[in-house]
């Protein structure tokens, strides 16, 4: 579950700034996308919102694992049968995902898509799955069984029944792509928010930064902190709305793809940095790894920073980020 709130978002137009702000909410990639652009006039803003929607739709038609005609679906349909040639864009996205899998020792794994959904977080689950069921649920998961051929741009899943899926990582990639395209087209400020994978650039028409509110895991209707952003991405992974309790222990809906067991210990991870794609991958990985290993992981990425909130309400930050000046009093 990802939740970020955009604060202080206003429609604004003055003769001095000669800028307008327009926002539109649409459903893309099976999730809500909020697109906000600052432009010289309303028509320009609306036209470029359409451009963003077309770009996200293009990406969805490449990497969706539930639309049967996409390249990723073709890879999944041919698991254990043959390699599938894909566009360079899809190949490189897969390559980056596997690199993150290697670095996290499998805490992140795009082959999670083959995992059996034996954990229920809708209130219907009354007891833990058996050890055998949990072990079986991840039999088809394992990034080491994804074979990439860079020369031929092919992807092969070694085991029948394997699947890859980009999920929210794809939303982060789409947000990154849209920011790049908008800047190339002269849109100097805006936000693309793909279901919590948020990419910002520039400032609001009145010159103020975008204010990003981070939900308090202990009180989901309240804010924990408000962070101003002018150019950067932010993603929060949280378990405070979807979890189960057994024997006094809290099990999050984010599952460790190596073990099949839910993540424990952290209720919220927020990652800041230049890329929403990477921020998403890191936030998910840190939820699985836990506080100590998660803080070690973020050190490998000097341009990224994070805030972790534990299940008991304590917070910790990476050394390059001081949350104290952004806390809501």
> In the chain, where are the structural domains located?
71-167
pLDDT in tens, 303-324: 999 999 998 889 999 999 999 9
Which one has a higher pLDDT value, 122 or 62? 62
Average pLDDT over residues 286-312: 96
Helix-helix angle 88-103:42-63, to 10 degrees = 70
3-state DSSP assignment of residue 75: helix
Give the length of the chain.
329
Whether the Cβ atoms of residue 84 and residue 59 lie closer than 8 Å to each other: no
Average pLDDT over residues 227-236: 93
Strand partners, 215: 223
Q: Which parts are annotated binding residues?
A: 168, 284
Q: Which residues neighbour 122 within 8 Å (Cβ) at sequence distance 6 or greater?
A: none
pLDDT in tens, 125-145: 989 999 999 999 999 999 999
**Per-chain mean pLDDT for the chain:** 92
Q: DSSP string spanning 81-147?
A: T--EE--HHHHHHHHHHHHHHHHTTTSS-GGGGG-------SS---SPPPHHHHHHHTTT--GGGEE
Per-residue confidence (pLDDT) for residue 1, from 0 to 100: 56
Q: Which parts are annotated binding residues for Mg(2+)?
A: 168, 284
Average pLDDT over residues 169-187: 96
Res 12 pLDDT > 50: no
Res 230 pLDDT > 80: yes
Q: Which CATH architecture has domain 71-167?
A: Orthogonal Bundle (1.10)
Average pLDDT over residues 75-87: 98
Per-residue confidence (pLDDT) for residue 291, from 0 to 100: 96
pLDDT in tens, 16-69: 356 899 999 999 999 999 999 999 999 999 999 999 999 999 999 999 999 999
pLDDT in tens, 187-227: 999 999 998 889 999 999 999 999 999 989 888 889 989 99
Per-residue confidence (pLDDT) for residue 6, from 0 to 100: 55
What the block records as the tokens of 205 is 């028409």
- Whose tokens are 């991870």? That residue is 269
Res 4 pLDDT > 90: no
């Amino acid at each position: 579950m990802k939740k970020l709130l955009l604060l202080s978002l206003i429609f604004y137009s003055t003769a001095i700034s000669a800028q307008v702000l327009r926002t539109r909410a649409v459903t893309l990639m099976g999730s809500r996308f909020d697109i906000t652009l600052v432009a010289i006039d309303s028509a320009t803003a609306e036209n470029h919102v359409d451009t963003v929607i077309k770009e996200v739709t293009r990406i969805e038609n490449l990497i969706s694992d539930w639309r049967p005609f996409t390249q990723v679906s073709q890879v999944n349909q041919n698991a254990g049968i043959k390699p599938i040639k894909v566009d360079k864009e899809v190949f490189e996205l897969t390559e980056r995902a596997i690199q993150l899998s290697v670095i996290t020792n499998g805490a992140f794994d795009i082959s999670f898509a083959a995992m059996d959904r034996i954990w229920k977080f809708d209130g219907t689950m009354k007891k833990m799955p058996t050890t055998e069921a949990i072990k079986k649920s991840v039999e088809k998961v394992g990034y080491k069984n994804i074979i990439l051929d860079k020369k031929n741009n092919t992807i092969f899943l070694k085991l029948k029944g394997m699947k890859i899926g980009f999920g929210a990582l794809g939303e982060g990639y789409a947000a990154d792509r849209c920011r790049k395209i908008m800047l190339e087209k002269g849109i100097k400020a805006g936000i693309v928010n793909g279901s919590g994978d948020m990419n910002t650039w520039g400032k609001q028409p009145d010159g103020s930064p975008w204010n990003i509110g981070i939900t308090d895991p202990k009180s989901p209707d309240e804010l924990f902190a408000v962070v101003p952003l002018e150019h950067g991405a932010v993603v929060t992974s949280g378990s405070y709305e979807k979890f189960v309790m057994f024997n006094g222990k809290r099990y999050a809906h984010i599952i460790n793809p190596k073990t099949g067991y839910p993540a424990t210990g952290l209720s919220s991870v927020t990652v800041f940095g230049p890329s929403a794609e990477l921020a998403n991958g890191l936030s998910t990985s840190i939820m699985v790894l836990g506080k100590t290993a998660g803080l070690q992981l973020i050190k490998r990425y000097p341009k990224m920073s994070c805030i972790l909130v534990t299940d008991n309400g304590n917070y910790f930050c990476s050394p390059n980020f001081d949350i104290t000046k952004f806390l809501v009093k």
